[in-house]
Each structure stands twice: as C-alpha cells, then as structure tokens.
Amino acid sequence: MFEGQPIPHASYEFLAAMLLSIGLGLWATVLLRIRFEREWSLTIWTSYNIKRVWQRLADESARTGGTLTSHLLGVLAWCILGSAWALCQVDATLEGLWVGMGYGALLGVATIILRVIAAWIGGWITLAPEATERGLEIDRHMRNWLLWGLMVFCIFHLGQNIPFSSRNILWEQAVWIWWGWLTMKWLRQLQSVVHNGLPFGWGIVYLCTFEIGPTYLLFKQV
C-alpha cells in the first residue's frame, strides 16, 4: 500500500509517529485548562455529571477559541487512529504511518463538518434545533476524552517491543477504545437531546440516523 522501508517492530515506530500528536495533544489540553475554563469543565462533567453540563450550556455560550481548541483535540485523536490503521497494513512503512496520520486528520475534520450539517438537518426535521445543537456540543466535549484515552494507550505501549507480525494488536486495542468511547458518547447524546425537548422516540431515530448509522458504515470501510 505504501512505498518505503518496512517497519521491523510495531511499537517503537508507532510511538515515534505519535510523538507529534501526543505533544500537540498535551499542549492543547493545557491550553484548554488554562484559557477556556468553560470547555474544560464541560468536558470533565460529561464523564460523571451530565446535569451540570446541561445547566452550564443553558447559562453560557461557547467561546470561539475554546471551541476550536476542543476540535483540535478531536482531530488529533483521529490522527492516532489513522496511524494505528496504517500500521496494521500488510506493507506498512514509516512513510505510511505519516500518511495514515494525514488521512486521520482529514477524516477528523470531515466528521466535524458532517456532524454540524447533521445537527442542522436533524433540528429542521424534528423541529427541535436546540436539542440537536446540545447533542452536537456533547459530541465535541466527548472527543477530548477519546484523545486522552488514546494518549494513555500510546504511553502504555512505551518501551514494549511488539513484533511486526503482532502489529494488529495495536489497531484492535485502539478500536476497542474507540467503541467504548462511542458507547458513552451516544448515551450522553441521547440523554441530552431528550432533556432538551426531543421526544425519546425521535432521540433514538436521531441517534441511529446521524450517529450509529454513519459510524457503522465507516467501520465497515476500514
């Protein structure tokens, strides 16, 4: 698939390719914590106190800088997933890892744009634009957790010398992290859209149409 020098061992080269993403992720996390208290608090609360998230969303609007920083964390998460996918290819190379990161970044940006469009369409169909907008905000805050989970995953593999023949383990573990995160995100989104006025039945339809369905199609492609 990619031309270049084959990778003799999975873990070292994978982590080397990830250093840039991890460094940027740490920088963006610190920036979020110091400069954008609203975004940081909402992200933390999504893990254990969704009612505080709803209250804060109702009381205060997002700042552009905080929104962009959160989006950056989400895109970096896709960079890590992209490199893990590239690593499990039969003819994986160091060059391929960076290409995979690029594909991941493009996919991350594309998902952000598509989710904004989906929220607008969903709000128009259900006549509950505030509910779908809240679901979109929950999606943004939950993406930060995906990056942090993948960063811990990379650090966990630091120093391990996984043979090239076993490199699929990295991709499988990354996918499990992704699916675990998706399950929590979908639950929080369903809670939020229903809380903000969307009937439960419409909430299920919204989730299946704009979240679960597209995710399943994407997973089938990779």
Rounded Cα gap, residues 67 and 173, in angstroms: 29
Between residues 83 and 78, the one the model is more confident about: 78
Widest pairwise Cα distance in the chain:
55
- CB-count exposure of residue 119 (10 Å: 0-12, 13-18, 19+): buried
Q: Tell me the domain boundaries of the chain.
A: 10-221
Query: DSSP letter string over the chain?
Result: ---SPBPSBHHHHHHHHHHHHHHHHHHHHHHHHHH-HHHHHHHHHTTT-HHHHHHHHHH-PPPHHHHHHHHHHHHHHHHHHHHHHHHTSTT-BHHHHHHHHHHHHHHHHHHHHHHHHHHHHHHHHHT-HHHHHHHHHHHHHHHHHHHHHHHHHHHHTTT---BGGGTHHHHHHHHHHHHHHHHHHHHHHHHHHHHTT--HHHHHHHHIIIIIHHHHHHHHH-
Per-residue confidence (pLDDT) for residue 91, from 0 to 100: 64
pLDDT digits (tens, 9 = 90+) for 117-141: 888 888 888 767 888 888 888 989 9
Per-residue confidence (pLDDT) for residue 161, from 0 to 100: 58
Per-residue confidence (pLDDT) for residue 85, from 0 to 100: 83
pLDDT digits (tens, 9 = 90+) for 87-112: 777 566 667 778 888 999 999 999 88
pLDDT digits (tens, 9 = 90+) for 198-217: 788 888 887 888 778 777 77
pLDDT digits (tens, 9 = 90+) for 31-75: 999 999 989 999 999 988 888 888 888 788 888 888 999 999 999
Would you say the pTM of this structure is higher than 0.75? yes
Residue 117 CB partners (closer than 8 Å, separation 6+) = none
**Nearest residue to 215 via CA among 114, 134, 141, 132:** 114
